[in-house]
Structure 1
Amino acid sequence: MLFDALAPSSALQLIGFADVDAFRPIETMEDARSIPLDVANFAATRAVVSLPACRIVVMRSFARILDTAYRMPGGMVILSMTDDVQASFKGLDLDARFFIALRGNDECHFVEPQTNYYAMIIFSPGLRDRGWFDRADDLRARVANRPALLHTRQLLRDILRTASVQPFLFETTEVAAHLQEGLLLALDDLFRIDSLSDLGASIQGERAIKLVQRIDDYVAARPTAPIYTADLAAEFGVSIRTLGGAVSKVRGMSLHQYIRLKRLWATRGRLLRGGGATVATCARAQGFHHMGEFAAAYRATFHEAPSDTLARGRQSRVRRAD
């Protein structure tokens, strides 16, 4: 299942509980109180990964009645990690269509009639507001954008796996910030039910086109630097929602997908020029620092490995020299 391939590391805290009494001190520290509904079959697991401005907690829960007091000044998102989740909240039956969001404080009451797998993403108060939370001190269940939910789940699994097998990557601020940015962009999409209708009244087509042109110039001027949406929004004096909506309107994809696609094509150009370059140097020259993630994205886009492109580029140079 979700935790089977994971091992604890310096970047991943992984704890399993086979005894409810061993689990209770964890709840006490978090101001939560559970009444287990099936003590004989009790089991719980949690995995924790910290990124620069958020903490990820992925949990295998147990059948229970749960009362908890959330204190989340920076905000929190809870989403299911499987499609068979069952829970109720304030009389609302929750399944995989929903996720939960809160910024501030709230007293919450849940019932979980079965084991569930879910992720809790807790944000630092210093993280810039991305327009996710309608109002403070109100935990709300929201309908998830289904493709974005599946993408976010996979991203969380990838982060857990990376933290387990390559914990040294989390010692590098740049890599950790890159992983966090991907997660934040996925959550942007999760909250965006219909981005085009949101834009209709606030952004005219001409303004969106000009904004995308500014994004193009910004990215071109910083080929090796990580690009963060909060920095872009601050640079252009717009909200993150406006920024992402403009790219969606003009380019038909999310900001993250668009920047990655541009950089993949730029990397491909460098690989085809051949010479003495390596795949790693070409990738890093366009801001890709996680080689496994880069190789997977490259193959999915171009249907060949970057090393194949590089070899073809070198062969072309040899033929031209002859």
Structure 2
Amino acid sequence: MSLLDELVESDFVKISRSPDFDHFRSIDGLGRASSIPLGIRDFAASFAMLRLRGCTIYLQRTFPRILQIQYSTTGAIVGLMMDDEASLIVNGMEGRAPALLLVKGTAQCEIVEQHANLVAFVNFDSVDDRGWPGELDRPQVIGTERARFDTLRTTLREVLMLASRSPDTLAQPTVIESVEESILLAVDMAMAAASASDARHLGLSHYLALIRKFDEFVAANAGKALYSADVARQLGVSVRTLHNAVVAIRGMSMHRYMRLRRLWNVRQQLVRADAAQSIKATALANGFWHMGEFTALYRDLFGETPQQTLSALRKNPDRQS
């Protein structure tokens, strides 16, 4: 049983559980986000939120996806993996324990999660004069000492359990202040042993810009069949450069990524379609000419056939991706 399964709602802890991807709710308090699923079988995304005086703690169970998020904070956001199996790619850099994600101000992140993770975030309202590394409006993946990382992870676990199981204790005078100080000290210790992974980030900046232009181009041409050579030409780069950028930032081949985007376009169009729009017409418009293969790819990704998507929509008109 994971920590999130052990938590119960209280006067301090609020829990949001999504029954399926179509009802998935992002964490509003961290910034604007959109997700493209890499698979939604056994979907079990959820998160818990604990608001203290000067910070908010989030514990989230994710799902395999590409996450595009613009983090925004008045102070700093610190993210960390809550189990050793968790891993992800942030702007082309691998993040796993004992690494921390640090964001000050506003920063755009391109994240790939190949499998479900259990992650925690602490959004501090202010972090004046604490001497943490990092630049404003630039995300960083920061490595730290294992023992100090484990101390921070344990502190967050204990705080969440206290707020969930013993809210009366947290409601007592000065307890919240003491809890916040424990969290800040744990982060201070982890940051004191930190080493920012800046060198590779600099080398990836061109790829990041290229992928964002690529996504804008795909979004602007939704419903059209796109081909790698044409896309590369429109972006003013070679196919090889575009492929290398996709592998570095998205963690998959350009072929797989373009197919994923086309499948996601189909699903969004089916969910919004009127009665005159057929599945075959939608598939063909997005470059899928082999209907048997298209149906299999769609089912593997979304756990249902295109026809089942339409049937579920007719039964539940409020269902949206």
Q: Shorter-chain TM-score category?
A: 0.5 to 0.7
Measured after TM superposition, the shift of residue 32 of structure 1 is 0.1
C-alpha spacing 1:104/1:51, structure 2 compared with 1 (3 Å)? same
- Check the 8 A contact 2:73/2:104 in 1, yes or no: yes
**2 CA distance for matches of 1:102 and 1:44?**
23
Equivalences for 1:113-132 in 2 at 5 Å? 113-125=114-126, 127-132=127-132
- Check the 8 A contact 2:142/2:194 in 1, yes or no: no
Deviations 1:14-36 (A, max 9, x none): 22212112114656994100001
C-alpha spacing 1:105/1:75, structure 2 compared with 1 (3 Å)? same
Equivalences for 1:275-286 in 2 at 5 Å? none
Measured after TM superposition, the shift of residue 86 of structure 1 is 1.7
Match of 2:157 in 1: 157
Equivalences for 1:216-295 in 2 at 5 Å? none
**1 CA distance for matches of 2:66 and 2:28?**
13
**2 CA distance for matches of 1:194 and 1:100?**
11
Equivalences for 1:79-90 in 2 at 5 Å? 79-90=80-91
C-alpha spacing 1:194/1:105, structure 2 compared with 1 (3 Å)? closer
**1 CA distance for matches of 2:25 and 2:56?**
21
1:135 is aligned with what amino acid? E
- Check the 8 A contact 1:103/1:133 in 2, yes or no: no
Measured after TM superposition, the shift of residue 168 of structure 1 is 2.1
C-alpha spacing 1:26/1:86, structure 2 compared with 1 (3 Å)? closer
- Check the 8 A contact 2:103/2:140 in 1, yes or no: yes
**2 CA distance for matches of 1:44 and 1:170?**
27
Deviations 1:164-204 (A, max 9, x none): 11112332340001011111101111111189xxxxxxxxx
Secondary structure in 2 matching 1:114: coil
Percent identity between matched residues is 31
**1 CA distance for matches of 2:4 and 2:121?**
15
Measured after TM superposition, the shift of residue 92 of structure 1 is 1.5
Deviations 1:125-156 (A, max 9, x none): 3x433111332111000102210111111111
Secondary structure in 2 matching 1:157: helix
Measured after TM superposition, the shift of residue 90 of structure 1 is 1.6
> TM-score scaled by structure 1?
0.57
Match of 1:245 in 2: none
Match of 2:192 in 1: 192
Deviations 1:53-73 (A, max 9, x none): 110001111100000011112
> TM-score scaled by structure 2?
0.57
- Check the 8 A contact 1:99/1:142 in 2, yes or no: yes
C-alpha spacing 1:91/1:23, structure 2 compared with 1 (3 Å)? same
Q: Which moved more, 1:26-35 or 1:5-14?
A: 26-35
Between Structure 1 and Structure 2, how many residues are aligned? Answer: 194
| Structure with more relative contact order (C-alpha pairs < 8 Å, separation 6 or more) | 2
Match of 2:100 in 1: 99
1:69 paired to 2:51: no
Deviations 1:109-130 (A, max 9, x none): 00000011111000113x4331
1:104 is aligned with what amino acid? G
Match of 2:10 in 1: 9
**1 CA distance for matches of 2:167 and 2:118?**
23
Secondary structure in 1 matching 2:154: helix
Secondary structure in 2 matching 1:120: strand
**1 CA distance for matches of 2:12 and 2:179?**
13
**RMSD, matched Cα:** 2.0
**2 CA distance for matches of 1:155 and 1:25?**
25
**1 CA distance for matches of 2:88 and 2:27?**
21
2:148 is aligned with what amino acid? A
Deviations 1:202-261 (A, max 9, x none): xxxxxxxxxxxxxxxxxxxxxxxxxxxxxxxxxxxxxxxxxxxxxxxxxxxxxxxxxxxx
**2 CA distance for matches of 1:150 and 1:34?**
29
Secondary structure in 2 matching 1:52: coil
- Check the 8 A contact 1:102/1:133 in 2, yes or no: no
Match of 1:175 in 2: 175
Secondary structure in 2 matching 1:178: helix
**2 CA distance for matches of 1:54 and 1:109?**
24
Match of 1:46 in 2: 47
- Check the 8 A contact 2:144/2:194 in 1, yes or no: no
C-alpha spacing 1:44/1:111, structure 2 compared with 1 (3 Å)? same
- Check the 8 A contact 2:10/2:163 in 1, yes or no: yes
C-alpha spacing 1:194/1:80, structure 2 compared with 1 (3 Å)? closer
2:39 is aligned with what amino acid? D
C-alpha spacing 1:180/1:98, structure 2 compared with 1 (3 Å)? same
